[in-house]
Amino acid sequence: MNMKVNLAGVELNNPVMTASGTFGSGEEYSEFVDLNRLGAVVTKGVASIPWTGNPTPRIAETYGGMINAIGLQNPGMDIFIERDLPFLKKYDTKIIVNVCGKTTEDYIEVVERLSHEPVDMLEINISCPNVKEGGIAFGQDPKAVEAITKEVKKYAKQPVIMKLSPNVTDITVMAKAAEAGGADVLSMINTLTGMKIDVNRRAFAVANKTGGLSGPAIKPIAVRMVYQAACAVRIPIIGMGGIMTAEDALEFILAGATAVSVGTANFVNPYATTEIIAGMKDYMVKYQIEDINELIGAVR
Amino acid sequence: MNMKVNLAGVELNNPVMTASGTFGSGEEYSEFVDLNRLGAVVTKGVASIPWTGNPTPRIAETYGGMINAIGLQNPGMDIFIERDLPFLKKYDTKIIVNVCGKTTEDYIEVVERLSHEPVDMLEINISCPNVKEGGIAFGQDPKAVEAITKEVKKYAKQPVIMKLSPNVTDITVMAKAAEAGGADVLSMINTLTGMKIDVNRRAFAVANKTGGLSGPAIKPIAVRMVYQAACAVRIPIIGMGGIMTAEDALEFILAGATAVSVGTANFVNPYATTEIIAGMKDYMVKYQIEDINELIGAVR
Amino acid sequence: MGKIKITTTVLSQDRLADGVYSMWIDAKEITDQAKPGQFISVYTGDSSKLLPRPISICETNQNKGHLRIVYRIAGEGTEEFSHYKAGDQVIIMGPLGNGFPLEAGASGKKALLIGGGIGIPPMLELAKNLSGTKQMVLGYRDELFLNEEFLPYGDTFLATESGSAGTRGNVMDAIREHGLQSDVIFACGPTPMLKSIRAYALENQIECYLSMEEKMACGIGACLACVCKSSEKDEHSMVHNKRVCKDGPVFKAKEVEF
Amino acid sequence: MGKIKITTTVLSQDRLADGVYSMWIDAKEITDQAKPGQFISVYTGDSSKLLPRPISICETNQNKGHLRIVYRIAGEGTEEFSHYKAGDQVIIMGPLGNGFPLEAGASGKKALLIGGGIGIPPMLELAKNLSGTKQMVLGYRDELFLNEEFLPYGDTFLATESGSAGTRGNVMDAIREHGLQSDVIFACGPTPMLKSIRAYALENQIECYLSMEEKMACGIGACLACVCKSSEKDEHSMVHNKRVCKDGPVFKAKEVEF
Ligand SMILES: Cc1cc2nc3c(=O)[nH]c(=O)nc-3n(C[C@H](O)[C@H](O)[C@H](O)COP(=O)(O)OP(=O)(O)OC[C@H]3O[C@@H](n4cnc5c(N)ncnc54)[C@H](O)[C@@H]3O)c2cc1C
Ligand SMILES: Cc1cc2nc3c(=O)[nH]c(=O)nc-3n(C[C@H](O)[C@H](O)[C@H](O)COP(=O)(O)OP(=O)(O)OC[C@H]3O[C@@H](n4cnc5c(N)ncnc54)[C@H](O)[C@@H]3O)c2cc1C
Ligand SMILES: Cc1cc2nc3c(=O)[nH]c(=O)nc-3n(C[C@H](O)[C@H](O)[C@H](O)COP(=O)(O)O)c2cc1C
Ligand SMILES: Cc1cc2nc3c(=O)[nH]c(=O)nc-3n(C[C@H](O)[C@H](O)[C@H](O)COP(=O)(O)O)c2cc1C
Ligand code: FES
Ligand code: FES
């Protein structure tokens, strides 16, 4: 049985990776799962300098989901490279660094700095709903998507994944813009902008007022967007948004994703990633699928 | 204690109404709830002629929600006026007719025909994700939103509610366009476009491939949009999307909605609407709120 | 009274065959009004699942107000139901749908009751309530269930795909093998079975009623999720789309199109 | 071993006061490693609620591998927990967080253990495990709970807002009333209480440890949801944001800012 998939020349042992920001840099979850068994670890967003993030409360639970407004707190690229990267290098898994920034220059600074580091791919987050500048502002305008992709590609030594925002009228426009800019891979979806009000305290549940909605609640929107994008572009897609089970992961693959990321599910079940890999194998045995690649985009 | 709210001159006994398409024309649910107790009944979409709708399966369950692709099956305005309207007139509740069409002319035909009928308000559905023409196509372009609002307003004798689509990058742009076109009230949100794939049958779960996602899963997105729109326009807003409980309804009101619609919850609990009204009263008693209007947009 | 949604008590749960369960529920409010061929909506206790599961009424004990459903584990909802034990709570709504027209199989009429797989349960309440002569044809993949409970009501013929009991093949094969004749047919089962019964009945001009299945949301006729193509205009929208939950689930064979 | 998530069994459930419950859970994998001041994540059985509820370890029986939590009904999750009966399943993860530094209250030291409301439970396991001299100050709104269980470990002073028992007022009022002196303070309770204890300790230069609270998602330090402002740079991001779930919940008073 073959579980290996190929993302722009990078071969993953299996299609299951972690979703940025939900798995730290892998260390905390390594108490629960063997990182060697993951297709890739995608890190929390890394900026050129340390970011403080938003005030608390930063999260709120919603029906079948959660809202977060962490605001991309991170130690910056220097500490990431000194501390987290060596930790990850100990494992036989691919390393994908999620990159965030406020300006194009910020992104390029990180991309350049990482170009000589043992990082397999870069995921450019142009879709964070929780920061005032950068983030989502880039991800909602096709011209900006294309421009930033082009810039990043100029400096990147590793394949570039552009992470798209679902908070747009037409995801195919953004997917095509990233492709036109030279993106090697797309990942989607980042969180949907949401809000929760605590009716008893009569106040916003997260200090930032709005936050990003994730979890199984959003899966149907994510699957739809992956399907639409897969029909619109030729580059591979990493699908995510609410994956809790092997069936959920397979839904994204059947819709056209080459790989998948598991995010919020880690909070519900720290063993989620490896259980999903096991469940996908069971499915392949049950339906006599020799190669996972047969399933990519198989429902049309 | 005052539960009455005012929508463009129409006074509702309380802010709780039904969401179009989830309550038929009230008859089926009248076995469970006393329609006299509802602020208003909003009918299923009515077109100028009968519409057949989409092939089955038309619905699929999702985590905390459901996808529907009914495709606006309806008997057309003549039968509606002959049969459903007299039924609704027997009750002491406001009647809001949801209007659908494929072209501007279609909408106008229904609006004109209803202008002399005992209908309290018209809700113009420019946001249905399940029909090829009309529907969402209008609702995703601010120029089209403004233009169709203007046209409808020319012929409407009743106040006009424009029902907005959440499948847009910026809801405030659409809200302002409707306001500029002369809308009296806004209602939001219609369903989010979603997809479900049955991994065992390896096929789309609804025949139409995509459908509209509704239910508690989408509530945080809906609350956020109501909040954003309420900050952007002066006209009142009817909030909906995943309301299951009195607390949910109050969340929308605190975010800026003057009234709320209950949709998918009816399928989960046919008594939902009246239970929500009772729960809102309990809340007002508990927190000594004399007038529900005090709560509208109270969290900022 | 009319339809009602209640939280009530499971009286017993039994496993009839691999993945097939029988549950008795305390539901006087529903049995008082229920007719053969009607169904109930069963709600799961899992709040991530919003929609009710439509399950046919298999039997009622009107005196005691007890209602029986027999169901197959088809997914997470029915899996959950199968774990309920006597004394547990269950949330149901009903009675829903139209039911079979008993007059069509009244005294003097010879009725053929055909059930396929998990379409067999509703035929039991029908068999108990039809006053005419009855013959039953029950089709299974392999393992039998409920068949012995039909014996008091008339001759019961079996068909199994595996050939382990009765005619090897489907219900139509059993009908042919035994040369069964009738004035009226009542049937419930998988779509391919209903299709061939429909063709057989139309060809032989036998009055025929089919119980249909479709995905549902409201279960009471309001949402228009569960329509099937009909030759007549439907009462609701007049577009040849009858609602399985309200206009059905039982339709005249010539009325529906597949 | 390390942290673990397990589905295990409720051993007993008791109501201690209005809305306050005590639950013993079978959890040897966790008690083997647990320290006073650590907490566990308790998951609800309701699939619409994804996130775990952090609850302090109130007591452990290391021999038997039993773990006790005492909690107040604050919303739907804790409401659900309160309905669990002996024999029911409960899903927990732990042990989480750093716990109180026992050496700070070792033999020869005089420790003041201050608990406010639902911050009282973790002080019990601490009282049992500190080798130094202990005095307890427990603050309540009105109804008492757990207070008698502290008696074996030292003098226990009460404060109630209603004045129904002990000092009328809060824990600081009780400390002043009794002129309590100490080398080290350990405290857990509502933020305003922690704020005034912090001010008191800094002013009087008493070593002081506070157990903090914040909304959590992962519970293990990965998501950065649960940070509190710290005077030192935090280990993770070096931005003065310590993680309550991993760097805490126990912090030196001078280390945290409110
Ligand atoms: C009128 C009617 C009577 C029925 N009577 C019986 C009966 O007596 N015994 C029995 O075992 N089954 C019966 N069924 C089928 C039964 O409704 C489904 O097997 C059940 O809903 C599956 O639910 P699940 O959660 O286990 O499966 P899932 O596949 O997880 O369900 C997902 C969703 O699809 C719906 N769904 C799945 N299969 C069907 C289906 N075949 N028909 C309608 N909705 C479906 C579910 O209700 C749910 O909303 C009947 C169906 C209808 C329409
Ligand atoms: C380290 C730590 C230890 C705690 N120990 C105890 C204890 O021993 N006994 C006890 O009764 N309570 C304790 N709490 C508070 C307890 O976590 C909350 O009361 C509980 O999570 C409420 O859940 P709910 O579903 O009932 O309320 P809801 O308000 O419905 O919960 C909604 C969400 O908010 C979170 N939340 C709500 N209140 C709090 C809170 N105060 N702190 C953190 N998250 C919250 C919930 O976990 C959930 O994710 C502790 C909190 C922390 C951080
Ligand atoms: C707490 C939290 C933090 C996140 N941080 C990041 C981030 O730093 N960079 C990023 O690109 N996405 C971030 N995301 C988005 C996730 O990577 C993912 O796109 C989204 O949560 C949808 O997947 P899920 O439903 O499986 O969680 C974060 C999500 C959560 C819940
Ligand atoms: C089965 C179904 C049918 C619907 N039909 C219509 C319709 O005819 N016209 C319309 O404007 N909205 C229609 N809607 C959208 C609802 O009115 C509402 O905007 C949406 O479902 C969100 O609310 P909810 O989450 O409470 O269901 C329909 C929704 C559902 C679930
Ligand atoms: S299920 Fe709603 S009309 Fe049949
Ligand atoms: S809860 Fe995730 S870091 Fe503390």
The answer to whether residue B244 scores a pLDDT higher than 70 is yes
Tokens of B273: 């609407």
Site from C6, C50, C80, C216 to mutate, B interface, most B CB atoms within 10 angstroms: C50
**Co-location of C13 and C55 in the same domain:** yes
The three-state secondary structure class of B87 is helix
pLDDT category at A131 given cuts 50, 70, 90 is: low
Q: Up-side HSE of residue C215: CA atoms within 13 Å toward CB?
A: 17
CATH number of the domain residue C154 falls in: 3.40.50.80
pLDDT of residue C257: 86
When computed from its CA atoms, the radius of gyration of chain D, rounded to whole angstroms, is 17
Which of the following is catalytic: A5, A10, A81, A128? A128
Contacts of residue A138, defined as CB under 8 A and 6 or more positions apart, other chains included, come to A126, A127, A144, A145, A148
Domain presence at residue C137: yes
3-state secondary structure of A22: coil
Query: With bands split at pLDDT 50, 70 and 90, how would you rate the model's confidence at A134?
Result: low
Task: Please state the rounded mean pLDDT for residues B273-286.
Answer: 98
Query: How big is the B-C interface in CB pairs under 8 Å?
Result: 109
D55 and D89: one domain? yes
Tell me which residue has tokens 């914040």.
D214
For residue D73, being part of any structural domain is answered with yes
For residue A112, pLDDT over 90 is answered with yes
Report helix, strand and coil shares of chain A as percent, to nearest 5.
35, 20, 40
Distance between CA atoms of A220 and A242, rounded to whole angstroms?
9
Each residue's pLDDT tens digit, A208-249: 999 999 999 999 999 999 999 999 999 999 999 999 999 999
Cβ A45 vs Cβ A128: under 8 Å: yes
Half-sphere exposure of A85 (CA within 13 A, CB side): 20
CA C165 to chain centre: 22
A128 as an active site residue: the answer is yes
The helix or strand, by DSSP H or E, that contains position C145, with its residue range, turns out to be none
Q: Which fold, A5-54+68-194+212-295?
A: TIM Barrel (3.20.20)
- Report pLDDT digits (tens) over C44-76: 999 999 999 999 999 999 999 999 999 999 999
Q: What integer best gives the mean pLDDT of chain A?
A: 96
Q: How far apart are CA C155 and CA C232, in angstroms?
A: 35
- Report the largest interatomic distance among the alpha carbons of chain D, rounded to a whole angstrom: 51
**pLDDT for the residue D218:** 97
CA distance B18 to B28: 13
Cβ atoms within 10 Å, residue A172 = 15
Chain D residues within 8 Å of chain C (Cβ atoms): 46-48
**Locus of tokens 């992709």:** A149
At residue B291, the pLDDT reads 98
Claim to verify: residue C84 and residue C116 sit in the same structural domain: no
Residues D89, D127, single domain; the answer is no
Amino acid at A76: G
The whole-number pLDDT of residue A162 equals 98
Query: Cα torsion for C69, C74, C76, C79, to the nearest 10°?
Result: 50
Domain presence at residue D254: no
Nearest to C13 by CA among C28, C24, C29: C24
Query: Residue C53: its pLDDT value, please?
Result: 98
Q: Is there a single domain that holds both residue D12 and residue D107?
A: no
Structural Rg of chain B based on CA atoms: 18
- CA A241 to centroid of ligand 6, rounded, Å: 20
Give the model's pLDDT for residue D237: 87
How high is the mean pLDDT of chain B? 96
Q: Per residue in C75-90, pLDDT tens?
A: 999 999 999 999 999 9
Could you give phi then psi for residue A174, rounded to 5 degrees?
A: -70, -40
Same domain, yes or no, for D150 and D75? no
Q: Are C160 and C78 in a shared domain?
A: no
Same domain, C32 and C71: yes
Task: Count the Cβ atoms, other than its own, within 10 Å of residue B169.
Answer: 18
pTM of the model: 0.97
Cα separation values, D173 from C14, D168, D200, Å: 63, 8, 12
Alpha helices in chain D (DSSP H): 28-31, 76-82, 121-129, 147-150, 171-178, 191-203
Helix (H, G, I), strand (E, B) or coil at C229: strand
**pLDDT score for A132:** 63
Q: Which helix (H) or strand (E) holds D258?
A: none
Is residue C241 assigned to a domain? Answer: no
pLDDT value at position C58? 98
Mean pLDDT in residue range B164-180: 96
Contacts A63 to C, Cβ<8 Å: 47
Distance from CA of D220 to the nearest CA of A (A): 6
Q: Which residue has the tokens 């069509």?
A: C104
Helix A104-114 to helix A142-155 angle (10° resolution) is: 30
Inside any domain, residue D249: no
- Total number of domains in chain D: 2
CB contact under 8 A, D217 and A74: no
Q: Determine the structural domain holding residue D8 and report its residue range.
A: 4-96
Chain B: give the shortest CA distance to residue D73, in Å.
Answer: 18
**From A132-136, A294-298, B107-111, B294-298, the region with the lowest mean pLDDT:** A132-136
At CB < 8 Å, which residues of chain B contact D? 63-64, 216
- Asked whether the predicted pLDDT for residue A282 surpasses 90, the reply is yes
Q: Are D21 and D13 in contact (CB under 8 A)?
A: yes
DSSP assignments along D222-246, one per residue? SS--SEEEBSSPPTTTSSSEEETTT
CA-A222 nearest atom, ligand 3: 22
State the sign of the Cα–Cα–Cα–Cα dihedral C48, A17, D224, A47.
Answer: negative
Angle (deg, nearest 10), helices A142-155 and A171-180: 30
Tokens of B196: 């479900």
User: How remote is the CA of residue C40 from the centroid of ligand 5, in Å?
Assistant: 13
Q: What is the CATH number of the domain that holds D48?
A: 2.40.30.10
Compute the distance between CA of residue D84 and CA of residue D26 in angstroms, rounded to an integer.
14
Ligand nearest to the CA of A219: 3
Sheet bearing C59-61, strands edge to edge? C53-56, C39-43, C89-96, C4-17, C20-26, C66-72, C59-61
3-state secondary structure of A258: coil
pLDDT of residue B190: 96
Where are any strands of DSSP class E within chain D?
Answer: 4-17, 20-26, 39-43, 53-56, 59-61, 66-72, 89-96, 110-116, 133-140, 155-160, 167-168, 184-188, 207-211, 227-229, 241-243, 250-252
* % of chain C exceeding 70 in pLDDT: 100
Residue A250 tokens, joined: 């397979």
Q: Does D230 reside within a domain?
A: no
Q: Which residue of D has its CA nearest to A51?
A: D239
C-alpha span between A201 and B108 (Å, rounded): 45
| B204–chain A nearest CA distance, Å | 7
Task: Answer whether B213 sits within 8 Å of A220, measured CB to CB.
Answer: yes
Average pLDDT on B190-215 reads 97
Cis status of the peptide bond prior to B57, with omega within 30 of 0: yes
Identify whether the C-beta of residue D52 lies closer than 8 Å to the C-beta of residue D93: yes
The packing angle between helices B171-180 and B219-232, to 10°, is 50
**C65 within domain boundaries:** yes
State pLDDT tens for residues C110-128.
999 999 999 999 999 999 9
Residue percentage of chain A with pLDDT more than 90: 95
Task: Work out the mean pLDDT of chain D and round it to a whole number.
Answer: 96
Residues C42 and C87 in one domain: yes
Q: What's the whole-number average pLDDT of chain C?
A: 95
Is D90 part of a structural domain of the chain?
Answer: yes
Is D211 strand, coil or helix? strand
DSSP output for A181-217 = TT-SEEEE--PEEEE-EETTTTEESSTTSEEEEESGG
Q: Which of B10, B16, B70, B128 is catalytic?
A: B128
- The reply to whether D86 and D125 lie within a common domain is no
Residue D250 pLDDT exceeds 80: yes
Q: How confident is the model at residue B133 (pLDDT cuts 50, 70, 90)?
A: low
3-state secondary structure of C38: coil
10 Å CB burial of residue B173 (0-12, 13-18, 19+) is: middle
pLDDT of res. D107? 87
Q: What percent of chain B has pLDDT over 70?
A: 97
Percent of chain A at pLDDT > 70 equals: 97
Task: Band the pLDDT of B138: cuts 50, 70, 90.
Answer: confident
Structure tokens at B69: 């692709």
Pull the structure tokens for residue A236.
Answer: 């591979």
Q: What is the pLDDT of residue D115?
A: 97
Looking at the structure, do residues D14 and D67 belong to the same domain, yes or no? yes
User: Using omega within 30 degrees of 0 as the cis cutoff, is the peptide bond preceding B189 cis?
Assistant: yes
Q: Which of B62, B223, B250 sits opposite A219 (nearest CB)?
A: B62
When mean pLDDT is compared across A216-230, B31-45, B133-147, B228-242, the lowest value belongs to B133-147
